[in-house]
């Protein structure tokens, strides 16, 4: 589970969210640029979580969406090899 939680995509999305939270605490007014930054962060977070879910499913040999770049067969073969040890 650690390899999923500490992946670079999820880690960078979380640090980006922390940065946005820090900027929200300042006395700056909420502008359209701030709204776009939050929207961008939300999309980034959703994509990072989706990649984690696809990797998790692929490693267990389950069905992965066709638009995903996860190689299900490779992940499943690695998992089988680990379990044989």
For 37-72, what is each residue's pLDDT tens digit? 999 999 999 988 888 887 777 777 666 666 666 666
Averaged confidence pLDDT in the chain: 79
Q: How many domains is the chain built from?
A: 1
pLDDT for position 65:
67
Residue 66 confidence (pLDDT): 67
Q: What residues contact residue 38 under an 8 Å CB cut-off, 6+ apart?
A: 20
For residue 69, the enclosing domain spans 2-84
Under the banding of pLDDT at 50, 70 and 90, the label for residue 28 is confident
pLDDT band per the 50, 70, 90 thresholds, residue 32: very high
Length of the chain counted residue by residue: 85
DSSP for residue 51: H
Q: Number of helices (H) and strands (E), helices first, in the chain?
A: 4, 0
């Amino acid at each position: 589970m650690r390899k999923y939680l500490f992946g670079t995509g999820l880690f960078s999305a979380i640090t980006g969210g922390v940065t946005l939270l820090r900027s929200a605490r300042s006395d700056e007014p909420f502008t359209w640029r701030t709204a776009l930054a939050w929207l961008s962060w939300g999309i980034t977070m959703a994509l990072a979580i989706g990649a984690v879910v696809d990797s998790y499913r692929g490693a267990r040999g389950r069905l992965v969406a066709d638009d995903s770049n996860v190689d299900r067969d490779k992940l499943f073969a690695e998992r089988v090899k680990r379990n044989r040890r």
